[in-house]
Amino acid sequence: MIKVAVLGVGTVGSGVVDILEKNADIIQARCGKKIVPIIGVVRDLSKKRDVSIPLTDDVKSVINRDDIDIYVELMGGVEQTYQVVKEILNRGKSVVTANKALLAYHRYDLQKAAKKSTIGFEASVAGGIPIIKALREGLSANHITAIKGILNGTCNYILTKMMNEKGSFKDILKEAQELGYAEADPAFDIGGLDAAHKLLILSSIAYGIDAKPEDILIEGIENIGHEDIYFAKEFEYSIKLLGIAKKQGKRVELRVHPSLIPQDKMIAKVDGVMNGISLIGDFVGETMYYGAGAGKNATASAVVADLVDIAREGQSPMLGFKSSLENSKLTVMPKDEVKTKYYFRVKVKDKIGVLAKIANIMERSQISIESFLQKMETKQLGTTTLFFATHHCKEANVQEALREIEKLEFVSAKPVMIRIED
Ligand code: HSE
């Protein structure tokens, strides 16, 4: 029998206990052992919880127990939780965690600490979608040329609603929070950090890269307005918050930002709170994964799958590599050198020479315009909005041009830029 302690018995924790009880038969048949939750740790014992296992608020005493085989970490938090998980691993016990922020900072430290034990973290990326397994086991024969993922359900819900309805950003975010998908602080969702945590975990398995959130380009969806939705529809794009990794020689682009995607691409059709990930391998080609990226049952399903794997005693290296890539070691491409296509929205006073001045800045910055649209403001007479889509150009040049454009006296609001992914 495998005895499990659940650290953090909130929504997902109670889902884990529920699956282990209700699906005990199939779980035992699949791994040849009974997996039994025997204790839960909570911060507030007075809060009513719908689980049958005994609960305590004394995490230390649970960590020190000799009879527990696997700890399920669902407490959240980074530094304190890191100390707890390290202590458990040092005691030779295995850990299953859904904590993407912890892994974004400490995945390599934890891999090192897990000498005699295992860390399962399938639930940390895209909830119920078995994406860690797909990448680490299923595609292990391939160099991964690209990852493009809708990794945050809250942002996808908001962007989908903005495309289909007219609701305000604030109201739609409130709905997403009510659905129980958003982080405790929804700024993590909206600002792109949650998706970045998940992208960093995937990029370790795909490329062996130890980058932190500070090392990569992260932009959220806060500045997307209904004008951008108008442009997207006009040119048959969807807007999605994408986590993107692309191998370029010995370097890897890693970035999270809103992207305009042609509506006929599969990933553009992933709507609402769902997650979707496209993985491209050099031999397999493109593979797509779709499913619930969060929520009680989907996340608990991934946690229990890790428990089953540990019970089966099959060993994959935590981050997928038994040795480093040596001669072909990959590094992260500096943010400024990223090359992609861009969309600009610029609100200006409708005067002679305005368009020429903006086009001139773009020319000086080596930016070539692919398409252009102008829309007169009906509410603010004398102002107009200019929409540009560019050919491929360099991020540094785009940032420079945007700074110049913003300074022009006839530009009446900070220009908005979205990267195009086609
Ligand atoms: N806040 C996350 C999301 C939850 O919206 O996708 C899953 O990690």
CA–CA gap between residue 329 and residue 252 (Å, rounded): 11
Q: What is the overall mean pLDDT for the chain?
A: 94
What pLDDT shows up at residue 73?
Answer: 98
Mutate to test the pocket of ligand 1, among 121, 125, 154 (most ligand atoms within 8 A of CB): 154
- The CB of 189 under 6 Å from ligand 1? The reply is yes
What spacing in Å lies between the alpha carbon of 358 and ligand 1's midpoint? 39
User: Helix 11-22 and helix 24-31: axis angle, to 10°?
Assistant: 80
Summarize pLDDT for 151-173 with one digit per residue, the tens.
999 999 999 999 998 778 888 99
Residue in this structure with the two tokens 């779980």, named with its chain if needed: 27
Mean pLDDT of 146-151: 98
What spacing in Å lies between the alpha carbon of 275 and ligand 1's midpoint? 9
Mutate to test the pocket of ligand 1, among 74, 152, 197 (most ligand atoms within 8 A of CB): 152
Summarize pLDDT for 251-293 with one digit per residue, the tens.
999 999 999 999 999 999 999 999 999 999 999 999 999 999 9
CA–CA gap between residue 173 and residue 2 (Å, rounded): 41
Whether the per-residue pLDDT at 326 is higher than 70: the answer is: no
- The CB of 157 under 6 Å from ligand 1? The reply is no
198 catalytically annotated: yes
Summarize pLDDT for 301-318 with one digit per residue, the tens.
999 999 999 998 877 778
Q: Pairing between strand 94-97 and 119-120?
A: parallel
Domains of the chain with CATH codes: 2-124 (3.40.50.720), 131-291+325-330 (3.30.360.10), 336-420 (3.30.70.260)
Burial 243-257 (b: 16+ CB within 10 A, else e): bbbbbeeebbbbbbb
Which ligand 1 atom sits nearest the alpha carbon of residue 157? 5
Summarize pLDDT for 339-391 with one digit per residue, the tens.
999 999 999 999 999 999 999 999 999 999 999 999 887 677 789 999 999 99
- The CB of 183 under 6 Å from ligand 1? The reply is yes
- The CB of 197 under 6 Å from ligand 1? The reply is no
Query: What pTM, to 2 d.p., does this model score?
Result: 0.91
Which ligand 1 atom sits nearest the alpha carbon of residue 195? 6
Catalytic option among 148, 198, 240, 347 = 198
Summarize pLDDT for 8-51 with one digit per residue, the tens.
999 999 999 999 999 999 999 988 899 999 999 999 999 989 89
